Structure 1
Amino acid sequence: MPLLTPSTRSPRRRTPGPAARFGAALAAALLAVLLGPPAAGEAAPRPAPSADPGAVRWAVQPSGPGGPTGRNYFTYDLAPGDSVTDHVGVTNLGDRPLTFAVYGTDAYTTTDGAFALLPSDRAATDVGAWIGVERRSWTVQPGRRADIPFRLTVPRNATPGDHTGGVIAAVAQDGVTADGQRVRLDQRIAARVYLRVAGEVRPAVTVESVRVGYDTPLNPIGRADLTVTYRIRNSGNVRVGGTGAVVVAGPGGWTLSRTSPVDLPELLPGAEFTVTERVTGVPPALRLTATVDLAPTTVDTALPPVQRTASVWATPWLLIAALAAAGAWLYLRRRRRRPTSAAPSTTPGPAPVSEPSAAPAGPADASGASVAGTAEPPAGGAAAGAR
């Protein structure tokens, strides 16, 4: 029986006639009328829209009368009553004119350690209030830079130490939120200002609180995580930084674990910051002591270390229960082996000695009365004898 193999010849395509073509066109037209126009989501893909040509973009940097000076920040060392004139460069990076509000404000350290400036609705009371600009509103053309002069005057009663703020260039625009509400957007970019007022410098860092948490494992030879949360405060009059580490010790000062030093944020005078460290693999050594070890620094020098400790119980209850059960078992075993009472002695002792009676017993007579062993002589004094 011969094998059937597929043919390698291509099938001949039949060209539809005019009637068939007319019917297909008529069907397509009717289908289009019934279904209507294509939905918006079914339209052919369009290229992604280009970036908004009217986007607001600008830059702010320390400058001089002839342009940028290469400085990252405005840094000054002045005495009370001194003043200095400087420039801030504001560059319009967009394609339309922008009008900027240029002014000074104060800085502060946020709770997460970031450098921040006061919002626009809060008036400056420190170095921001000492910065004066010729006018508040400045218009800069597209692709151009304006080097805007300002004057910083230190009051005569200014306190010694660091005063930090910024020179802001802000653009206010109207916007619409997701729910359709119109809002006023205040977009701000600033160059930082670091001012050191001459006088007594008192750098100081304080560890205000230390909290320790530990989840004792059931396994007495197991390990668990120790959580240490501490709050530090810049209690001096200059900004500080540095590193911090945690040392965990057991009874007798035996070191169990130590964390690697972590960098602390720059803390402005009066600022505080909370650090949380998780120390892994700590054994339940009955009593755990966590020591916060800070190595603070200023922009000029290193400061003496600052330490503070806190303790927490890490009682291995399962081990203590096992030891208590073993002690109770040993006690009961010894108690059972102890004799309940003393046994009487069976060793023969000396025979008791009887006292001689006053009238020794003799042979008994017929009446049953005893007869003395010796007879008394008769009344006549002669001894009785045989005849």
Structure 2
Amino acid sequence: MITNLVLATTLALAPSPGFSWSVQPSGPKGPTGRDYFSYSAAPGDTIKDTVGVTNRSSEKMTFKVYATDAFNTADGSFALLTADKKPDDVGSWISLTKRTFTVKPGKRVDVPFTVKVPENAAPGDHSGGVLAAVTQQETTGDGQKVNVDRRVAARLHLRVNGPTTTALKVDRITASHDGPIVGDRTVKVSYRVTNTGNIRLTANAKVYTEALFTWPQGAAAEREIPELLPGSSYTFTDEITGVLPAGPLKASVRLTPSDPGGLSPARIDPTTRSITFWAVPWVVLGAAVVIALLLIRRRRPARR
């Protein structure tokens, strides 16, 4: 089965015209204006909520509504397990009394669901999604028939009460440079960021280089680190231009984390990781060698 997933909190269009639907947090009186599902609960708690599925197509559609777990892909994107994989985290805590719904064009169905937090649930963030899927049979270019599972989902984040750890780790940092023999160079810094805590985090990253005596080199690069779920990693590469070949240089990555859920009462401390590398000043070394040879020649005793 081929899966095509669109994460959405508002209208999400499927690939073909006239074939679209939306999934969003709702309530007994309809959509509540929430961007996604967000809860804070203790182990053993029960939460009741509603998801709205709106058919924005020109014909009636049958949806399969269910929940599953989230993860970060290799490029850092938020994604949900495919339909053939069984959730073992927050997706498995969610139950619906009914899972299949046929909705007329332009109409919405509000589907109640229950979240039962296990007594032994680990403290911290647990992320997933509630989605509506439509399976259709399509024909490929070579005439084969395949089932295409298209899904639209609303994100769900649940923070279980208890001790939280907020930590982003920078590792696998490397630095390389290129440029002319004479003049400034460009330094490329690659680094992996891992969320080693138990809550989801974003961060501002500042990447910079320094020569001896903390002499700044080049223009620092900055980027926003996308939301990383606990245990997830992503590798970034940033460029610093205008760096002088000043011999031993230090490349540093400074992360200032933040809690996108806004639930952490305490300030999250920044973290910095550095690496030392060489940008050989060939012109300076060449001039020094020439001067040394001239001095040696002048000091050499003249032959009789």
Same fold (TM over 0.5): yes
Among 34, 45, 69, which residue is 1:71 paired with?
34
What letter matches 1:55 in structure 2?
Answer: G
Q: Distance in 1 between matches of 2:16 and 2:122?
A: 48
Q: Distance in 2 between matches of 1:276 and 1:103?
A: 37
1:247–1:291 contact (8 Å) kept in structure 2:
yes
Q: 1:321 to 1:54 in 2, by over 3 A?
A: closer
2:219–2:242 contact (8 Å) kept in structure 1:
no
| Aligned-partner SS, 2:226 | coil
Q: 1:317 to 1:165 in 2, by over 3 A?
A: same
Among 45, 57, 64, which residue is 1:82 paired with?
45
Q: Where does the alignment leave 5 or more consecutive residues of structure 2 unmatched? A: 1-14
Among 252, 256, 259, which residue is 2:213 paired with?
252
1:374 equivalent in structure 2: none
2:229 equivalent in structure 1: 268
Q: Distance in 2 between matches of 1:292 and 1:73?
A: 32
Among 334, 344, 360, which residue is 2:299 paired with?
334
Runs of 4+ in 1 over 4 A off after TM superposition: none
Q: 1:252: how far off?
A: 2.5
Q: Distance in 2 between matches of 1:325 and 1:202?
A: 58
| Aligned-partner SS, 1:183 | strand
Q: Distance in 2 between matches of 1:328 and 1:183?
A: 76
2:189 equivalent in structure 1: 228
| Aligned-partner SS, 2:87 | coil
Q: 1:127 to 1:227 in 2, by over 3 A?
A: same
* Structure of larger gyration radius: 1
Q: Following superposition of structure 1 onto structure 2, how do residues 1-387 of structure 1 map, counting pairs within 5 Å?
A: 55-215=18-178, 217-219=180-182, 222-298=183-259, 299=262, 300=264, 302-336=267-301
Q: 1:161: how far off?
A: 0.6
2:184–2:244 contact (8 Å) kept in structure 1:
yes
1:224–1:280 contact (8 Å) kept in structure 2:
yes
Q: Distance in 1 between matches of 2:275 and 2:152?
A: 43
Taking structure 1 as the reference length, the TM-score comes to 0.71
What letter matches 1:130 in structure 2?
Answer: W
1:245–1:258 contact (8 Å) kept in structure 2:
no
1:231–1:273 contact (8 Å) kept in structure 2:
yes
Q: Distance in 1 between matches of 2:79 and 2:204?
A: 21
1:38 equivalent in structure 2: none
Q: Distance in 2 between matches of 1:176 and 1:233?
A: 41
Structure richer in helix, relative to its length: 1
2:221–2:239 contact (8 Å) kept in structure 1:
no
1:53–1:95 contact (8 Å) kept in structure 2:
no
1:217–1:316 contact (8 Å) kept in structure 2:
no
What letter matches 1:155 in structure 2?
Answer: P
1:54–1:95 contact (8 Å) kept in structure 2:
no
Q: 1:269 to 1:233 in 2, by over 3 A?
A: same
1:295–1:302 contact (8 Å) kept in structure 2:
no
Instruction: Kindly tell me the number of residue pairs found equivalent between the two proteins.
Output: 286
Q: Distance in 2 between matches of 1:71 and 1:328?
A: 75
Q: 1:110: how far off?
A: 1.6
What letter matches 2:255 in structure 1?
Answer: L
Q: Distance in 2 between matches of 1:318 and 1:54?
A: 63
What letter matches 1:267 in structure 2?
Answer: L
1:199-222 CA deviation, whole Å, 9 max, x = no partner? Answer: 111111111221011126322xx1
Q: Distance in 2 between matches of 1:214 and 1:202?
A: 36
Larger deviation: 166-175 or 308-317?
308-317
Q: Distance in 2 between matches of 1:205 and 1:334?
A: 59
Q: Percent identity, aligned pairs only? A: 44
Q: 1:224: how far off?
A: 1.1
| Aligned-partner SS, 1:333 | helix
